[in-house]
Each structure stands twice: as structure tokens, then as C-alpha cells.
């Protein structure tokens, strides 16, 4: 669909496209033992987010990932667990360039691996740039079709300087005349494959830039495409923190309030909904009338409203639906079982029983990546007091959704 829209404007037909992802790096800059592409974010390895970003793009036919022998089983496990499709694995080389070359070889028709066939255009992307959007992929592919090679660029954040041999400033480069070369890049397959076949061992060992190889060996001047800030590469530990915050923010954009049409419940549910809209800026708050549809639309946060009852029947029904939907395979889903109660009316024994019950439920559904907590909202007769309770409740709901901390599952919070 994006090809028909975008490709038509640019006067191009849809080419056969594959992607190569070098993922053989050791992540030494991170200062952690795990290679950065395997570092967990919300318990899922970074590379799985990047694969997800590429898989979403329907016109990328094959994704070839180059991993070292020692990580091959880990990678197979990731593909299976997160149900990635259209992935082929090849052995990584000692350097990034050698890994890419191995990926290209697997795509070339003369290889014994029969599942793959030679594409017209190949995208090269990094395993550690998980936020790549379809738009920029389309732009580099289209530019590669026309020019033979293309790469995303970004403005420089710092001035670049050239040091002399004694570590003094020789000269500084004009920032406006230079750009940072980022990923993704795209090439006519023959252009980049020929370049790799011709290039020297020195290039394969010490080179960093595919655009440079295309220029040097295939005499192709790559078309440069302005990318968004999202293209940044997870390099340091702080980048992992940033990636985690961005992902948490993205899956916290929508909250679904599940309520019955019972008169009492619907009224309080609507009030809570209004309060959530007021307290959580930028968050889309929806009523769960058509839960199946909301799950399909990938809402990862559910507030289940119960009035004057502390049982979990309705919450249990929601949990069953979520478990069947597989929604929580990729991201932890937050479920908050909200109970509007007039405290004084609940005997102690019953309440502790409920506490224990929600903890058991929570432990159970945690296995399927669902984070369940309970929330008692004080339900007074007086309207103004109710508003105050609702505001408190909204604050607690926001905290649980924002932090998504599995250490707090099974708690019964009080607003």
C-alpha cells in the first residue's frame, strides 16, 4: 500500500527487497558483558525490536541476520519466542563488513540456501537501531533504485575536528558542510555485491562505511536522505535507558477502561475515564465495548471497573481474553482490577482473602507477561469526595502504567 502510494509518486515500481542485519558485534562500548543487540528491554532483547520494525514493512521479503556461532542458538530462541517471520540466519564474520558480505552471499542466487533469492534492492540496517520507520526505509529503497545507492544522514550534534599527531587541534570542520552517516542504507543488489567482491582485505577489516565501498568500487555516488532523530544507534548504556523509556512511553499511549453497562458501574466507570483523560495527558482513554477490537489495535493497558464488589470475575474474563490474544508476547500488558468500595462495609477476613487471591492471579498471569494489580477506590456518597478518590486512583493507575514494574504485581493499592 505504501508502495502504491509512494512508489507511484516517485514513478517507481515495487522492487524485490531484502534486508541484511549485521549483528555480530560484541558491544564493548556498552561496558556490559552481553552484546548490546541482545541486551534486554522490558525483558526482550533489543534485536527483537529491530526485527519487529522491519517485519512490519510488508514489502521487505527477506531479513538476513548475521550472528556469531556462539549466539546462533540464542538468536534462534529469540525468533521462536517472539514469532519473527521471514528471517534467515547466517554466520557473522569477524568484522561488520565481513558479516554484511556473508549476508549478501546468502542472498546471491548461486548460494545453496534455496529459501532465499536475489533481490533487486538490499537494505542494510543495524541490529541496534530499533526505531526505524517504514517511511525512511521506503525513501532509501526508492533512492537506491534510481541512484544505485542511498543512505540516511543526520545533522552533526558536535563539531568534528581533526587532531594533529601531538593531540592538538589541527582544524575544525564546518558543521553545516558535513553530516553524520546513519542507517538504514539501500543498494541495488548488484552494485553492493560487486563492491564487496572487489574490495580489499583492508577494507573488510577496517572499513566502516558501505556507501564508501559503493563509491570506491562501483563508482556510485549514493543519494543521501535526511533521517529523523529516531534512527539513532544504541551505543552506550544510556542509550539502552533511553530506548526503554521510549518503548514504555509508546505502549502507554492508550488505556482501555473495561466496564459493565450496569447503571452504577457505567456511571463510575465514565467518571474514572474522565479523570484519566484529565490526569494523563496525551493518553488515549477508550471504553472497552469491543474488547477484541481494542486488543487487535494493540492497546497494552486495561483498567477493569468493579463497583461494590471485590470479586475478580470480570477481571478474570479480561485476563482470559488477553491470554488467548497473544497480545503480551511482545510487550508486558498492564491490567488493573479497580474495585469501588465503601471500606467500612468490607469485613477484614474477606479483604485479606482478596489480597491473597489477587497475588495468586498475578503470579499466574505474570508467566504470560501480564502485570496485574488491584486498586481499591474509596466510594463515598458525597460527590466531591468521590472526585478526590478518582483523582488519586488516576494517579496510581498512571504510575503503574508508566513504570510497568513487575516488582509491584499482585498488590492491592488504595486510593
Q: Which residues contact Mg ion (rule: CB under 5 A)?
A: 260, 305-306, 314
Q: Judged by CB under 8 A, does residue 8 bind a copy of itself? A: no
List, as one string, the DSSP characters of 186-212.
EEEHHHHHHHHHH--HHHHHH---HHH
Q: Which member of 62, 182, 203, 265 binds a copy of itself (CB under 8 A)?
A: 182
Residue 258: other Cβ atoms inside 10 A: 25
Q: Is the Cβ of residue 324 or residue 342 nearer to a copy of itself in the bound state?
A: 342
Smallest gap from residue 168 Cβ to a copy of itself (A):
4
Smallest gap from residue 31 Cβ to a copy of itself (A):
9
Smallest gap from residue 309 Cβ to a copy of itself (A):
18
Q: Is the Cβ of residue 230 or residue 266 nearer to Mg ion in the bound state?
A: 266
Which of Mg ion, a copy of itself, none binds 305 (CB below 5-8 Å, type-dependent)? Mg ion
- Smallest CA-to-CA distance from 124 within 224, 52, 192, 190 is with 192
Smallest gap from residue 260 Cβ to Mg ion (A):
5
Q: Judged by CB under 8 A, does residue 169 bind a copy of itself? A: yes
The span from the CA of 338 to the CA of 308, in Å, is: 10
| Per-residue contact flags (x/-) with a copy of itself for residues 232 to 251, judged by CB under 8 A | xx-xx-xx-xxxxxx-----
Which of Mg ion, a copy of itself, none binds 190 (CB below 5-8 Å, type-dependent)? none
The span from the CA of 161 to the CA of 178, in Å, is: 11
List, as one string, the DSSP characters of 339-384.
EEE-GGGS-HHHHHHHHHHHHHHHHHHHTTTEEEEEEEEE--SSHH
324 exposure class (CB count in 10 Å sphere: 0-12, 13-18, 19+): exposed
User: Hey, what's the torsion of the CAs at 102, 108, 109, 114, to 10 degrees?
Assistant: 40
Q: Judged by CB under 8 A, does residue 387 bind a copy of itself? A: no
CB nearest Mg ion: which residue?
314
Q: Judged by CB under 8 A, does residue 42 bind a copy of itself? A: no
The span from the CA of 170 to the CA of 166, in Å, is: 10
Which of Mg ion, a copy of itself, none binds 175 (CB below 5-8 Å, type-dependent)? a copy of itself
Q: Considering Cα of 90, then 93, then 96, then 98, what sign does the dihedral take?
A: negative
Which of Mg ion, a copy of itself, none binds 235 (CB below 5-8 Å, type-dependent)? a copy of itself
Q: Judged by CB under 8 A, does residue 153 bind a copy of itself? A: yes
Smallest gap from residue 42 Cβ to a copy of itself (A):
14
Q: Judged by CB under 8 A, does residue 197 bind a copy of itself? A: no
Q: Are 14 and 7 in contact (CB under 8 A)?
A: yes
Q: How many CA atoms are closer than 13 Å to the CA of 105, on its beta-carbon side?
A: 15
Smallest gap from residue 199 Cβ to a copy of itself (A):
14
The span from the CA of 300 to the CA of 353, in Å, is: 28
Q: Judged by CB under 8 A, does residue 399 bind a copy of itself? A: yes
Q: Judged by CB under 8 A, does residue 309 bind a copy of itself? A: no
Which of a copy of itself, Mg ion, none binds 244 (CB below 5-8 Å, type-dependent)? a copy of itself
The span from the CA of 341 to the CA of 346, in Å, is: 8
Q: Judged by CB under 8 A, does residue 277 bind a copy of itself? A: no
Amino acid at each position: 500500500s505504501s508502495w502504491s502510494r509512494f512508489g507511484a509518486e516517485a514513478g517507481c515500481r515495487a522492487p524485490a527487497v531484502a534486508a541484511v542485519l549485521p549483528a555480530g558485534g560484541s558491544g564493548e562500548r556498552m561496558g556490559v558483558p552481553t552484546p548490546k543487540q541482545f541486551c534486554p528491554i522490558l525483558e526482550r532483547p533489543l534485536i527483537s525490536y529491530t526485527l519487529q520494525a522491519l517485519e512490519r514493512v510488508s514489502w521487505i521479503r527477506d531479513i538476513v541476520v548475521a550472528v556469531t556461532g556462539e549466539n546462533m542458538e540464542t538468536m534462534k530462541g529469540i525468533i521462536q519466542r517472539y514469532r519473527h517471520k521471514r528471517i534467515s540466519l547466517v554466520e557473522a564474520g569477524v568484522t561488520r563488513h565481513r558479516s554484511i558480505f556473508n549476508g549478501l552471499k546468502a542472498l546471491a542466487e548461486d548460494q545453496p540456501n534455496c529459501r532465499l533469492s536475489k533481490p533487486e534492492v538490499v537494505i542494510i540496517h543495524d541490529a541496534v537501531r530499533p526505531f526505524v520507520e517504514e517511511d525512511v526505509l521506503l525513501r532509501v529503497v526508492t533512492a537506491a533504485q534510481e541512484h544505485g545507492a542511498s543512505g540516511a544522514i543526520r545533522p552533526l550534534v558536535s563539531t568534528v575536528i581533526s587532531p594533529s599527531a601531538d593531540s592538538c587541534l589541527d582544524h575544525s570542520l564546518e558543521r553545516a558542510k558535513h553530516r553524520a552517516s546513519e542507517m538504514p542504507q539501500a543498494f541495488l543488489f548488484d552494485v553492493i555485491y560487486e563492491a564487496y567482491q572487489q574490495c580489499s582485505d583492508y577494507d573488510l577489516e577496517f572499513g566502516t562505511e558501505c556507501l564508501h565501498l559503493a563509491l570506491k568500487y562501483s563508482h556510485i555516488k549514493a543519494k543521501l536522505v535526511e533521517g529523523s532523530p529516531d534512527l539513532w544507534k544504541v551505543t552506550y548504556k544510556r542509550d539502552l535507558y533511553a530506548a526503554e523509556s521510549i518503548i514504555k512511553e509508546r505502549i502507554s499511549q492508550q488505556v482501555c477502561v473495561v466496564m459493565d453497562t450496569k447503571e452504577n458501574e457505567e456511571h463510575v466507570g465514565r467518571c474514572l475515564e474522565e479523570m484519566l483523560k484529565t490526569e494523563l495527558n496525551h493518553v488515549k482513554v477508550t471504553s472497552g465495548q469491543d474488547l477484541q477490537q481494542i486488543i487487535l489495535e494493540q492497546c497494552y493497558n486495561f483498567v477493569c471497573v468493579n463497583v461494590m464488589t471485590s470479586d475478580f470475575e470480570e477481571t478474570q474474563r479480561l485476563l482470559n481474553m488477553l491470554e488467548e490474544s497473544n497480545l503480551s508476547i511482545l510487550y508486558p500488558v498492564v491490567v488493573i482490577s479497580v474495585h469501588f468500595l465503601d471500606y467500612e462495609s468490607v469485613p477484614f477476613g474477606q479483604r485479606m482473602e482478596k489480597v491473597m487471591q489477587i497475588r495468586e492471579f498475578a503470579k499466574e498471569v505474570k508467566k504470560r507477561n501480564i502485570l496485574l494489580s488491584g486498586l481499591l477506590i474509596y466510594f463515598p456518597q458525597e460527590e466531591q469526595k468521590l472526585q478526590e478518590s478518582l483523582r488519586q486512583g488516576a494517579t496510581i493507575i498512571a504510575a503503574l502504567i508508566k513504570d510497568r514494574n513487575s516488582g509491584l504485581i499482585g498488590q492491592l493499592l488504595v486510593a
